[in-house]
Amino acid sequence: MVCLSPDAGPGPSAHREERVVSTDNNETTGSEIPAPSPAGVDPTSGAAPIPGPGVAPVPGPGVAPVPGPGAGPVPGPGGVPASGVSFTPVSPGARKRVKVIGALLGVLVVLVIAGVVALKVVNSSRTPEAEVRKYLDLLASGQASAATAMVDPGVSNDQRSFLTDDVMASATSLLVIEEVAADKNEDAETRQVSATLQVNGERFTHAFTVTKEKPTMGVLNNWTVKGSLAAPVSVDASGYTQFTVGGVSADAPHKLVSGKPATYLFYPGVYTFTPVAPSEYVDVNPKTVAVLDGVHGGTTSYADDADVSLIATYSDELKEAALESAKEFLNSCASIPGNQNSDCPFALQSDAVTAISVKTMPTSLEPLEIDPGVFQGPVTFAVTYSDKYYMPGTRDVDAKVVVNVQFSNDGLLKLTSDGKPDFFVGASL
């Protein structure tokens, strides 16, 4: 138990005496409790006094000063306080957000640069010459349908029946691209593109007009090629009504009858025009033609420079039929009164003839060079005369039999009701 002596005054210099009374033996142990040191001096340590109100603190060894009222901010370790400026520490979350935003900005910049580069690369393939080359590449690879879809030939459907992949697949030679170059007027809305090309070794140049169209999404250039490379080919047929190219058939009127040949479009290439034989008596005479830029042929192998002329020749079957018809006629002339036929040789038509026979019958007939529809051959008759007009007796009469094939107005071989050729047969001396 602690008791305070009544003698201890309140003054600063007063001493208090503390008596410790033992509860065990009621003995009091006297020990003095020292009074506070003046000005707050620690009597035991000798440390500097603790300042009173309004007095600046004096730090002890290694101790940071404690600011008094009105003092400025205390800098952190190693920091130098700025006059009148306070700093708020950045939180870890804020630092993370700053890093993320910085990374996103960096990615955005990279994407913008990449987009600009990619746009330039894409537009480099969307130029007038690139568009023309794309069209020519389709033709060079035989893609007729795609080429037609890209550049409209500008004709009716009945004239573009040969602008197909199958027809181009039948060509023995297709387009070869040598050079494609655009004019220097780069800012113009309409450009001229010149292409140097080949077909079967024949070189030609074609000028394309290319117009600028509305950009896709406002940034992707678009160009349209004007003027198809499909060339018109006129076909004139004599002795045929149709022809085929690559399995595609079409009519082939005779221009001398119809007034004009049939015209069809073909892409550049070397094609074989095969006429359709109307009967077994007509040969099939194909014609191979090189189609260039509106010009056909140009070499000795492909004789036609413009139109394709399909002229029929006739088979051995027609020659045999002509011979049989000639024999039938000659046997008729070698009879009485058949000899009176005005188409028989004049020497046989006399009423003084008493007997006739064919001494030498022709064994074959040959067509004339100038007219393959005319056949002829020699024949010899043995004719017996009375003394009515001539010297009596039997003598040889040499003649020539001529067989003319009959044609319709459109130049086709005429056939009889039984499907045989229709002939006109005569004989003369």
Spatial separation of the C-alpha atoms in residues 6 and 274, rounded to whole Å: 149
Q: Are 380 and 399 in contact (CB under 8 A)?
A: yes
User: Rg of the chain over CA atoms, in angstroms?
Assistant: 61
According to the model, what pLDDT value does residue 20 have? 40
Spatial separation of the C-alpha atoms in residues 55 and 32, rounded to whole Å: 32
According to the model, what pLDDT value does residue 162 have? 96
According to the model, what pLDDT value does residue 55 have? 44
Q: Are 253 and 216 in contact (CB under 8 A)?
A: no
| Nearest in space to 290 (alpha carbons), one of 178, 196, 172 | 172
Let me know if domain 128-226 sits in CATH 1.10.287. Answer: no
Q: With a threshold of 0.75, does the pTM exceed it?
A: no
* Percent of the chain that is helix, strand, coil (3-state, to 5): 20, 35, 45
Domain residue extents for the chain? 2-35, 128-226, 231-311, 316-428
Architecture of the domain whose range is 231-311: Sandwich (2.60)
Spatial separation of the C-alpha atoms in residues 291 and 308, rounded to whole Å: 10
Q: Are 338 and 385 in contact (CB under 8 A)?
A: no
Spatial separation of the C-alpha atoms in residues 423 and 405, rounded to whole Å: 5
Q: What is the DSSP letter of 148?
A: H
Spatial separation of the C-alpha atoms in residues 427 and 276, rounded to whole Å: 34
Give the count of beta carbons closer than 10 Å to the beta carbon of residue 81: 13
According to the model, what pLDDT value does residue 117 have? 55
Q: Are 236 and 254 in contact (CB under 8 A)?
A: yes
List, in order, residues 6 or more apart from 261 with CB less than 8 Å away.
Answer: 234, 235, 236, 253, 255, 307
Report, as ranges of residue numbers, the positions in the chain whose pLDDT lies below 70. 1-88, 90, 111-112, 114-125, 217-219, 256-258, 294-306, 390
